[in-house]
Structure 1
Amino acid sequence: MGNQLRQDDLPLISALVCTYGRGRLVVDTVASILANTHPNFELVVVDQSKDNETLEALRSFSADPRLRYLKSATIGKGDALNAGLIETKGSAIVITDDDCTVPPNWLETFASIFVTYPNVAVAFCCVEAGEHDRAAGFVPDFVRTGDRMLTTMHDARHVRGLGAGIAVRRDMIEEIGGFDHMLGPGSKFHDCDDRDIAIRALLARHHVYETSTIAVKHFGFRSWQQGPQLARRNFLGIGAAYSKFLKCGRIELMYIPALEFIKYALWPPIRDVLHLRQPRGIVRITAFAEGFVDGLRTPVDRATMLFVEERKK
């Protein structure tokens, strides 16, 4: 798919970065976004940090009118993303994490996707691991070898993109209620904000697109010792997000969390036992189950499939 469009075809695009406690490290992220070639974009940074270190670090960009900084008292990425939806003005919002850098054609490529495919509500790009010591640990990534369009609600089982490289079409995302504020780092359920928004878009009969043509670089290094903690966080969020199918009466889709549980949580330790190895990944089983049960106990708006705050008695 060609990425070159006439300037008249390029509406305002909003780049969004949500940050917490990153300090000066977010400067590399911001610098890489501001170096993009798209002729019509803004960048909003939503900062949930308790200190002003990030604000001070971003003063070096104060002369650039494309950058706006929002200090937010909210907690959790879901709330930060929704604050960004309110603050941004573009017809599409392109999002990365505060430990990533993006290529110069990042915004242009997402803009092209939304112009070419008017039914696409959510798009993902590749997320490549930054340089790191592979013997000491890993960096979460998402790498595709070709483009893919997801169009049906049953395609929800294939959603794998990461929030470090995601774009959403504003009107379609506002239609389904925005991001779930209880999902994502720092929220009640610590992950799955990215997968959840894509799945809910599919259930609303919009499309999801994954492109292999661009990649952000992710520097979120985790040591091997931190792996189980990250797995627990991930599968707690996944279990909670998938519990909403049952809460909203979508029984026909319950095979999706069942497949997810069997393939990525249950099967790996069974495979280890079959190969006479110490079983690994038990934490995925317990975290998925815990998230699923806790999700069932949490009120959900059936129209939007968003978790809602419990009413105080």
Structure 2
Amino acid sequence: MLKQGGWKQLPWRNIIPGTDIGLALGVVLLLSILIIPLPTFILDIGLSLSITFSVLILMVALFLERPLDFTSFPTLLLLTTLLRLSLEIATTRLILSHGSEGTYAAGHVVAAFGGFLMGGDVVIGGIVFSILLVVNFMVITKGSGRIAEVAARFFLDSMPGKQMAIDADLSSGAINDRMARKKRYELEEESAFYGSMDGAAKFVRGDAIAGIIITAINIVGGLAIGVLRHNMPLNEAASTFTTLTVGDGLVSQIPALLVSTAAGIVVTKGGTTGSADVTLVRQLGGNPKPLAVAAVLSALFAIMPGL
């Protein structure tokens, strides 16, 4: 029997995920994906985990009480970006090397997403996917990056005033030394957080740009390899490699969109308290007059002829 707390001294504890060595091994594993070819079933697991992590990050961001409750978010943002890029490279390797074998050459996840969006029509699927790329890059990613940049700039500009306010409260006796140290620590932590978010947003933007470039490489390179090397008919090569490329793009762009949205939510919570659901319900439904006006306008639109 181990004494209470004795398990903490066991050497194998350091390799449990969540510890420092476990995190280091995870990062090394991500980097190895850039070099080592992956079997399709491992790639399917990795893509599924990427989507799951992105949904988890978004849910955590929605239910945050304050941004400082998620100070690890910039680091997590970098790691998830590295995960997506590693999986994209692994998927691209499979698409270009085995794409001629069919739509399941890059695994079932890529084939499922590609087939779902394409719907049997290459042109319509390509247009819808292009719109998704534009929305993710021009709206979500760019907007989140701009929000993080402005928040970091304004917070850094306001730091001297906040520090002077803490000193004034301490001098007047409104707070004691312990409370002043706590406020200064929170101020430093908040400053580091917004600065890190500003830098991490650049990784997200770079990830979106890399996704667009990888998509173009997959389509052009896949067509060239399929037609010239494997003697595939042009229509068949276009359908196969476009489906694979769209599937690859979806499983990378959807997590990127979710994480970018989470980043915007976290940064914009700087001036609010409470989780997003409570804040939205309280602020949107707290005043009955806007609700009444919106209801009347909706009723008018409903009874207008031709609408």
Provide TM-score, normalisation by structure 1: 0.28
**Greater RCO structure (CA 8 Å; 6+ sep):** 2
Q: Decide which structure has the larger Cα Rg and report it.
A: 2
Q: When you count helix as a share of all residues, which structure comes out higher? A: 2
Q: When you count strand as a share of all residues, which structure comes out higher? A: 1
